Every structure is written in C-alpha cells, then in structure tokens.
C-alpha cells in the first residue's frame, strides 16, 4: 500500500533507544479569544476541538505558541494544535511545531482552515497549492517556504441562489463576515460538517491523502449535484 512505502521515508526520531516516526501534526487555524469563538474564520479551531472530543482528549497544553493535545489515530501518534499567534501569523506556530517534532511538512502535516470559495456545508482536501487569498494559509506557506503541505478547507461561503448572484448579491464576503458570529442555523450546518471533517481526518491517516481525497472530494461533489436536482 502507498502509505506503507511512505512510512519508511518519514523523518525518524530516537526515543528511549528506539527509532519511531515523527508524530502527525494536525493544525487548525483560527483566532484565540472568546470574541472569535463562533466566527467563520475559526472553523479550523472548531475542527480540532471536534477531533479532540471524539478522541477523548482536551486541547489545553501550551507548546510552540499553540495549544496542543496528543492522541493516537490509526495507530500513529498525533499532535492536535491550535496556534495562539492569531490567523495572520499562523505560520509562526506551524513552523515551530514542524521543527519541534522534526516533521516533514509534505508527509506529516495537515492544516485545517476556513474557505470562503467553498459553500458552507462542504469541505475539500488538497495535497498542495497556493493560499488563494487566505492570510493564514499564506503565513503557513511563507513560514515553511513551500506549498507542499496537506490542507483540508472547510466551506464557510454563503449559499446564495443564482438569482441573488445575478442581481449582484453574490460578491465575496469580506473581513467583517469572517469575524462576525455565525447564526444558529449556520452553526447547525457547520456542526454536521465538523463530524465529516473528523472522519475524513481519520481516513487520511488510515488510507493516505490521495485515497481520502478520492473518497471525500468525490462524495461532496456527488452530494452537491444531487442537491441541485
């Protein structure tokens, strides 16, 4: 299996005389503070909390300018992290975590964050690419000096009908939208997505990114097509 062959090339760390793979880092992007807790820009933080809840851990340790928790998923040590550096400086914490755990960004890192270009209720997994206007993702790319890192983007864009877009109401929301508390109905939609994101994250560790992308990106596309019918 592809993931078995990749394991041999992962960075190794020596612990108590034995060599073990570096932990897999799952980092959710967001802004610390109660005022940002339920905003679209904190979807990444919410995802980390959901994964932690399902794994029976609490993200409360402080390390590398982030709050962290450690668990095991699919037999591998996993570090869950939420940077405390605020969104625009997310890369500072991510780079510190990568260095601390001697991780390879291309193999041992998953970054989860919000995406305005995806409709609320959807998400996409992508192995590499440009930040596309997301300040947190840009900070991560700049700090790591590479676009070769796995990302899971959670849709937070409003689902506007075609007639609203045609009437000029479909402009890309801005900073105020991302930093304003979400409505109860929106949070209910996001809540369902977070469970799917947690499942997708486990699948990434179980079967590898490529297989998980094929499974979840296609499923999301098929469900969207079904809704339009």
Catalytic residues: 41
Give the span between the Cα atoms of 37 and 50, in whole angstroms: 14
Give the span between the Cα atoms of 9 and 170, in whole angstroms: 46
Residue appearing with tokens 């959710």: 28
Structure tokens at 2: 């592809």
Count the residues in the chain.
229
Strands 150-157 and 109-119: parallel
Structure tokens at 177: 């939208």
Give the span between the Cα atoms of 98 and 117, in whole angstroms: 28
How far CA 33 is from CA of 36, 39, 150, in Å, comes to: 6, 11, 26
The neighbouring-strand residues paired with 66 are 63, 83
Strands 24-28 and 76-83: parallel
- Residue 162 host element (H or E): helix 162-164
Give the span between the Cα atoms of 169 and 54, in whole angstroms: 38
């Amino acid at each position: 299996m592809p993931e078995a062959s990749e394991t041999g090339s992962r960075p190794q760390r020596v612990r108590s005389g034995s060599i073990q793979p570096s932990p897999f880092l799952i980092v959710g992007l967001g802004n610390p503070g109660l005022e940002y807790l339920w905003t679209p820009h904190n979807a990444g933080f919410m995802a980390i909390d959901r994964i932690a809840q399902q794994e029976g851990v609490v993200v409360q340790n402080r390390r590398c300018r982030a709050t962290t928790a450690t668990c095991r998923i699919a037999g591998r040590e996993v570090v869950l992290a939420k940077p405390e550096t605020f969104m625009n400086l997310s890369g500072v914490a991510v780079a510190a975590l990568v260095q601390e755990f001697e991780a390879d960004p291309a193999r041992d890192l998953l970054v989860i964050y919000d995406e305005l270009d995806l409709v609320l209720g959807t998400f996409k997994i992508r192995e590499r690419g440009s930040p596309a206007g997301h300040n947190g993702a840009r900070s991560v790319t700049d700090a790591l000096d590479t676009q070769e890192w796995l990302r899971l983007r959670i849709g937070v864009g409003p689902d506007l009908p075609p007639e609203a877009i045609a009437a000029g109401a479909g402009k890309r929301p801005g900073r105020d939208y991302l930093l304003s508390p979400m409505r109860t109905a929106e949070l209910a939609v996001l809540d369902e997505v977070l469970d799917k994101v947690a499942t997708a994250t486990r699948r990434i560790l179980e079967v590898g990114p490529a297989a998980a992308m094929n499974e979840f990106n296609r499923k999301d596309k098929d469900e969207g097509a079904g809704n339009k019918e």
